[in-house]
Structures are given as C-alpha cells and as structure tokens.
Amino acid sequence: MRLTCVGLSTVDIVHRVPAIPGPDEKAQATSVQIAAGGPALNAAVTAAALGADVTLVTAIGAHPLGALIKQDLAAYGVRLLDAYDGGTEPPPVSAVTVEETTGRRSIVSRNAGAVTLRMPACDLSGVVLVDGHHPVLARAAAAAAGTLVVDAGHWRPVFAEVLPHAHVVAASSGFSHPALPEVAPHVAVTDGPAPVRWWSGAASGERRVPAVDALDTSGAGDAFHGALAVAIAAGAGFVEALDEAIRVAAIRVAHAGPRSWLTDPRLQQDLVPSEDP
C-alpha cells in the first residue's frame, strides 16, 4: 500500500496535568513529552504503523528544531520530502495540555508560517491525504492526486480549490460548508465519541464509535484520517474504511502520550468487511 500525506509538521510539547488550568492559574505537569506532530505528519506515522509505504510532503527546513521532526519520521519509517529544505525559519510549535482524568486537551499553536514553498517532485498517482495547512502544497497535491482524501478539520480558504478534486472528505463537526454532503463522492463527519455520519452517493448512515476510557484525545482525528487513507489504499469500500478508521482512533485515545499507542498489537488486525454497502 502506497500513500502520500501532504501538509503540516510541528514540534509538539505535551504536558499531562491533573486538570487543565483556567485563566491566571498554573498547573504542575505530571509528565512532559516532546514529539513531532501536525495533522499530516501524525496521519503519516499512523499509516506507517499500519504497514503502508508512506511519503510525507511538508515544510520543515534547516532550523535545529526541525531535526527533532526528521528524527521522529525516520524512527517510524516515513519518507520525507521537505518543501522548505534549507529554510531557516523554525517549524511550527504546539503546546498541548492533556487532562489526565478525561483525556481532554487544549492546544496553542502557531501552525504554518508565511514561508515560500515549492511542491517537490513526487509521484501522486496513488492515494493522497491533504490537510490544507500549506496552501501551495495542498493545491498542487489536489490537482495531481490519483485518489484524494481531504482532512477537513476546520474550514480553510484553500479548500475551495481542493474540494472539487476530492474523492473522500473526512470532516469534523466543526467544519462549516453549506453543501457538505455533496462536496465529494464520499463524505464523513466525526464528532468525538458520537457516531460518525457518512454519505456515499445515494446512501447514508452512521457508524458507531466504541466506548473507550479516553486517556488522551490528542491526535485522534489524525489517526482516524491516516487509517482511513490506508484502508482506501488497500481497496476497502468507504464504509469498511470508516470502520477501520474508527477502530484505530479508539486505540489511539486509550493510550497516554503521542506515540505509545503505536505498539498496541491490536493495530495489526486485518480489515473486517462491513455489513453496509
């Protein structure tokens, strides 16, 4: 299975706390971890853990912080194409605070900076996952993708140019579009532990999300999108691919920390055919 992920890479500083502090409050972290993050990067790492041959097209550059991202990608077998190769601006940094008792999190991030990028030469004839964070990369990938999967967490202006190319759109409940079910042949909307709603041609329905004791919800959507893209690359039907994405995201939230969940043996379970069309 070959997959290309296109979009954001960050450095994530993750604090676990007994309770997320309010205004003017301080909290003593019980642990701190530093890892690479970002929607496209986390999806790529998920896909690699599921056995896919993954290339990540992103913007990192030559800043010392970028070395952490590159090392993390190498450790998980993700091939890197850096559209900001040699650039000196630091990569985006996210501060993530995770509440231990609920798994809920707060995130403060800079996201993609205003740097000049050029889409590197790469084969985009297979399944391509785009998160829309780097508009130059998103537009180029969408136009060339064999099968385009869009991570539509929240509306971004570039999506007006990306969505017409989409085969699958996986949106969050916070994604606002007046014609959401019709923006692509296959559309899904996630809403945390609530059922995933889906539309596929004239068919539609919901897929149940299993009850999980959530320890960490950070990156759950990214894991969902990575697993969804892998299942589609493996030839799964849309509803079957949704069930696989739901399964993987449930494993993600049951583990604390950004990477510990990748060693869960349940990740390697074969796809189970869905009863729905």
Nearest to 159 by CA among 190, 180, 185, 138: 138
Q: Residue 67's CB: how many other CB atoms inside 10 A? A: 12
Residue 18 CB partners (closer than 8 Å, separation 6+): 27, 30, 99, 100, 101
**Four-point Cα dihedral 98, 104, 105, 111, nearest 10:** 140
Per-residue pLDDT, 178: 79
Position 252 pLDDT exceeds 90:
yes
pLDDT tens-digit series, residues 88-137: 999 999 888 989 888 888 888 876 667 889 999 999 999 999 999 999 99
| 255-277 average pLDDT score | 78
**CATH for the 2-264 domain, from 3.40.1190.20, 2.40.50.60, 3.40.50.300, 3.40.50.880:** 3.40.1190.20
Residue 211 CB partners (closer than 8 Å, separation 6+): 193
Instruction: List, edge to edge, every strand of the sheet that includes 53-58.
Output: 79-82, 53-58, 2-6, 127-130, 147-152, 168-172, 186-191, 194-200, 203-207
pLDDT tens-digit series, residues 220-230: 999 999 999 99
Enter the DSSP assignment of 91.
P
- Six-digit token pair at 189? 């909307």
pTM, entire model:
0.91
Q: What percent of the chain has pLDDT over 90?
A: 74
Alpha-carbon distance 34 to 148, whole Å? 31
| 192-202 average pLDDT score | 95
pLDDT tens-digit series, residues 156-182: 999 999 999 999 999 999 888 878 888
Strand ranges inside 100-216, DSSP E: 105-109, 127-130, 147-152, 168-172, 186-191, 194-200, 203-207
Region class of 240: left (phi > 0), else alpha (psi between -120 and 50), else beta: alpha
Q: By 3-state DSSP, what share of the chain in percent is helix, strand and coil, each rounded to 5?
A: 30, 25, 45
Region class of 77: left (phi > 0), else alpha (psi between -120 and 50), else beta: left
